Amino acid sequence: MIRMNENYLKLQASYLFSEIAKRVNTFQAQNPDKKIIRMGIGDVTRALPNACIEAFHKAIDEMAVNATFRGYGPEQGYAFLREKVAEHDYQARGAEISPDEIFISDGAKCDTGNFQELFALDTRIAVPDPVYPVYVDTNVMAGRTSSWKDGRYEGFVYLESTEANDYVPALPTEKVDVIYLCFPNNPTGRTITKAQLRPWVDYARENKALILYDAAYVEFIRDDSLPQSIYEIEGAQDVAVEFRSFSKTAGFTGTRCAYTVVPKRCKIYDASHNAHSLHAFWDRRQSTKFNGVSYPVQRAAEAVYTSAGKQQVRELSDYYLKNAALIRETIAKIGFPCVGGDHAPYVWVKTNMDSWQFFDLLLERAGVVCTPGAGFGKCGEGYIRFSAFNSYENVATALQRIAESLKTL
C-alpha cells in the first residue's frame, strides 16, 4: 500500500484562483455581451524584448548545427549568464557577489519552494501575511506545521503587514530560524528602505537565522535610494539568500528563467551546532535534482544585459508602471486608500468591506476582475489587489467603469 505524505492533507485547497475563475465564468454566462477586464492575475501581457528574441533565435540556430549544438549544460547555469548577473545586478551596485554564487533556474517559484528542503523539520519559520503562497504551502508540505486553525497554520510565525505598520512587518518577538521577505511585495506592492531592512539583517546575524529575500519585482523600483538587493545591506552576505526572476523583469513568465544567489559566506548548522556551507548544499541539491535551464533561454536572458536589452526591459516595466500609477491615482480619488503601484506592478486597496464582497461588487457592477486580499492571508481580509499587467487601454477602461459603478456606494 502506498502511504501518502499526510502533510498534503493539511493544505487548504488552492481556492483563490479557482474560486475567481468560477465566479467570473458564472458572471460571463449570465452576461454574455459584457467584456470582462482582468486585473487579477500577476502575469505579464507584453511580448519579449526584441534583444531577447534575437538572442533566442540565434541560439536556436546554434542548436541546429553539430559544431555548435549543446547538450546538458551546467546545472548551475552557463558561466556567460552567471557572470552578467553578478556584474550588472550586484557588483555594479556595490554588492560583492561572484558568478559562482549565482544559480540559474527555471523560476523563482521553484527556487523559493525548493529551498526549504535544506532546513531541519523543526526549523522555526516566519512568513509574511499577506504572503506569496508558495512560501507557506511548501513548508506545510514538508511537515513544518500542524493543522489549519482560524485562517492560519499552527507552527508558523506570521509577520503581519498592516496599515498600522505601513505594510512593513516588525521583527518577530519570538525566536525564528528562517525569515521569508519579499520586496517590492506581492501582493501589497510595498517597498522597503535600507533603514527598514537593516534590522532584519542584524536580527539574522544575532540569531544565526537565514533570510530568504524574494526580489522578483526589483525591476520596478524607480527610487535609487531603495535597496534593489539585500546585499546592499552590510553583512547580509552572511545571512541571506536572494531570489530573482526574469519573469516580470523581461516578460519571461512563459519562457522561464530566474536565479538564486547563495553567498559562500552563508552558513547552516547541524544539531551539534557545527557550521556548514549553505552554498555547498544548495549546489548539491540542484546538481542532484535539476538539469539546468535550456541553452537558448539562457542566451535570451543574457540579452537583458546588453544596452538594447536594458533599454527594452526598462520600457516594459515603464509601461506597466504607467498602468499602476493610473490605478493608484484613480482608486485613491474614488476614496479608497491604496499602497504600492509606485515601485511595483501591484496596487493594494483597502476596501472597508469583506474582500470577496468587494470582488463581487467590481465584477457585477464594472465587469472588472481583481484578486481578493483574503486569498493571501488573514491580513489580506478587507483588501483587494489590482495587477498592472494589462494593456493601458484596458486599464483605463476598467478604471472608468469602476469610477462610474462605485459612485453610488
Phi-psi region of 367 (alpha: psi -120 to 50; beta: other; left: phi over 0): left
Q: Which parts of 157-216 interact with ligand PLP (CB under 6 A)?
A: 182, 186, 214, 216
Q: Which is nearer to ligand PLP, 301 or 361 (CB)?
A: 301
DSSP label of 163: G
* C-beta separation of 242 from 271 below 8 A: no
45 binds ligand PLP (CB under 6 A): no
- Please tell me whether residue 364 adopts helix, strand or coil conformation: helix
Considering the complex, what minimum distance in angstroms separates the CB of residue 76 from ligand PLP?
A: 17
Provide, rounded to whole angstroms, the least separation between the CB of residue 214 and ligand PLP: 5
> Which residue, 305, 299, 345, is CA-closest to 325?
345
Least spacing, CB of residue 171 vs ligand PLP, in Å: 21
Q: What angle, rounded to 10 degrees, do the helices at 307-334 and 392-406 form?
A: 10
Selected range binding ligand PLP among 24-32, 52-60, 102-110, 312-320, rule: CB under 6 A: 102-110
Residues 6+ apart with CB under 8 A from 30: none
Single-letter residue type at 28 = Q
- Stretch near ligand PLP under the rule CB under 6 A, chosen from 12-20, 83-91, 108-116, 302-310: 108-116
Binding to ligand PLP (CB under 6 A) within 125-154 occurs at 132
* 247 touches ligand PLP (CB under 6 A): yes
Q: Which of 107, 130, 340, 345 binds ligand PLP (CB under 6 A)?
A: 107
Q: Which of 51, 108, 126, 201 binds ligand PLP (CB under 6 A)?
A: 108
Site string for ligand PLP, 280-319 (x = CB under 6 A): ----------------------------------------
CB of 133 to ligand PLP, least distance (A): 9
Scored b (16 or more CB within 10 A) or e, 319-353 reads: bbbebbebbbebbeeeebebbbbbbbbbbbbbbee
Q: 30 in helix, strand or coil? A: helix
Task: Point out which span in 4-12, 103-111, 222-230, 357-365 binds ligand PLP (CB under 6 A).
Answer: 103-111
Residue closest to ligand PLP (Cβ)? 107
Number of residues that bind ligand PLP (CB under 6 A): 14
Considering only 191, 228, 245, 312, the residue that binds ligand PLP (CB under 6 A) is 245
Yes or no: say if 102 and 78 are a contact pair by the CB < 8 Å rule: no
10 Å Cβ neighbour count for 23?
A: 17
Quote the cell numbers at residue 350.
483597502
Tell me which residues touch ligand PLP (CB under 6 A). 42, 107-109, 112, 132, 182, 186, 214, 216, 245, 247, 253, 258
